Amino acid sequence: MSESPEKPAGRPVVLTCAQPTGRLHLGNYLGAVLNWGRMQDDHDCYFGIVDQHAITVPTVPAELRDNTYSCLAQYVACGLDPARSRLFVQSHVLGHTELAWILGCLCPLGQLERMTQFKDKSRKQQSVDSGLLFYPVLMAADILLYNAALVPVGDDQKQHLELARDLAQKFNHRYSETFCIPEPFLSKVGSRIMSLQDPGAKMSKSDPNHAATVFITDRPEDVRRKIMSAVTDSGAEVRSGPDKPGVTNLLSIMSACTGRPVAALESEFAGRGYGDFKKAVADAVIATLDPVRVRYDELIKDKPELSRILKAGAEQAQATAFRTLSKVHRKVGFVERPR
Ligand code: AMP
């Protein structure tokens, strides 16, 4: 008789992983991290900083280490709360690569070669290491190790989540019910924030035009300068619409920062022109980001505190990981590890 799949006791388990790749921007904050923070109220959250994924492309070791601390400090400053959630670094928890190996033994090579992200990334490199190909299997292991029911994913990760679902189903079918099948979590509130210099493109950390992206650790004077120089549209009317991509973007930024509907902002700024409007947008963004920056500045100087958070997160995540792994080993037929 098959066992029922592992169900999280009580609140649904959510897993979010992000690579430690430098500074978060306003798009990451308003479109993703803010929602992850809200999920802590009614979900059992795991937030992983996935350094093992980061080395699938060439990285500078000292930068990876600094970025890992910085990523942690930014997440905590944004409201991911180590007292309520598990914030951990992937390489601190034994089991991610171990489970990835076992899942890899169920994963046809062709399925990995067809992954859009692998095709895109490998096209840009002269020689391709197998870690890049295997990346989605490691991601499946990240998710299944914690029996996550929900995984917030952007468009670029949907195909990888589909693979995690496939592998979970395959494992359950071959060895009996073990994993719950993770669902994508598409948040209801969430804004797609566009570049301040080209409202046709998403705001991105890699934009070479520094005026296009507001980072969460930018000083208030830099935030103001970037917002004041944001591209607007012809005409002086503050309203949203397809003919006004620049103003629409600023309206949705202001709406996300203040919690006020776009329509209310349009009425407030009717007949007042772009100058007044941009000043108000800058004030709203500064009011939102300033506490985040102040907290980040404190935390990044406090290595003992960051290490304490990482230790607690790793211990909690490890307890879950070991439970899953020992169950998986038993199902696969590995002899129980002598104690
Ligand atoms: P990335 O920086 O691409 O690794 O994305 C991290 C998270 O932030 C993902 O959930 C993305 O969907 C989200 N994100 C990235 N850029 C934006 C943006 N410009 N607007 C809204 N959400 C974004």
pLDDT (mean) for 300-320: 98
Inform me whether the pLDDT recorded for 236 exceeds 90.
no
Q: What is the pLDDT of residues 261-297, one digit of tens each?
A: 999 999 999 999 899 999 999 999 999 999 999 999 9
Residue nearest to atom 4 of ligand 1 (CA): 18
pLDDT (mean) for 32-43: 94
Q: pLDDT at position 2, please?
A: 39
Q: pLDDT at position 234, please?
A: 86
Inform me whether the pLDDT recorded for 208 exceeds 90.
yes
Considering 170, 202, 327, 331, which one is annotated as catalytic? 202
Q: Tell me, using a 6 A CB cutoff, whether residue 203 lines ligand 1.
A: yes
- Is residue 205 part of the annotated active site? The answer reads yes
* Dihedral pair phi/psi, residue 235, rounded to 5°: 85, 165
Q: Tell me, using a 6 A CB cutoff, whether residue 261 lines ligand 1.
A: no
Q: Choose one of 15, 25, 28 to mutate for the ligand 1 pocket test, by most ligand atoms within 8 angstroms of C-beta.
A: 28
Rounded CA separation 137/170 (Å): 13
Rounded CA separation 4/209 (Å): 53
Q: Tell me, using a 6 A CB cutoff, whether residue 158 lines ligand 1.
A: no
Looking at per-residue pLDDT, the higher value among 123 and 264 belongs to 264
Q: How far apart are the first and last CA of the chain?
A: 28
Residue nearest to atom 13 of ligand 1 (CA): 28
For 94, the 3-state DSSP assignment is coil
* Dihedral pair phi/psi, residue 13, rounded to 5°: -85, 130
Q: Are 310 and 72 in contact, with CB atoms under 8 Å apart?
A: yes
- For the ranges 103-107, 187-191, 212-216, the lowest mean pLDDT is seen at 187-191
Question: Please, what is the Cα angle at 19 between 17 and 22, to 5 degrees?
Answer: 135
For 138, the 3-state DSSP assignment is helix
Confidence band, pLDDT 50/70/90 cuts, at residue 5: very low
Q: pLDDT at position 189, please?
A: 54
Considering 7, 119, 158, 205, which one is annotated as catalytic? 205
List of residues 6+ apart from 325 with CB closer than 8 A:
94, 95, 98, 99, 145
Q: What is the pLDDT of residues 127-158, one digit of tens each?
A: 889 999 999 999 999 999 999 999 998 778 89
- Is residue 301 part of the annotated active site? The answer reads no
Cα 326 to ligand 1 centre (Å):
35
For 80, the 3-state DSSP assignment is coil
Q: What is the pLDDT of residues 245-260, one digit of tens each?
A: 999 999 999 999 999 9
Looking at per-residue pLDDT, the higher value among 339 and 248 belongs to 248
Rounded CA separation 141/96 (Å): 6
Inform me whether the pLDDT recorded for 4 exceeds 70.
no
Rounded CA separation 184/181 (Å): 10
- Is residue 121 part of the annotated active site? The answer reads yes
Cα 191 to ligand 1 centre (Å):
10
Q: pLDDT at position 9, please?
A: 58
Looking at per-residue pLDDT, the higher value among 73 and 156 belongs to 73
Inform me whether the pLDDT recorded for 339 exceeds 90.
no
Q: Tell me, using a 6 A CB cutoff, whether residue 192 lines ligand 1.
A: yes
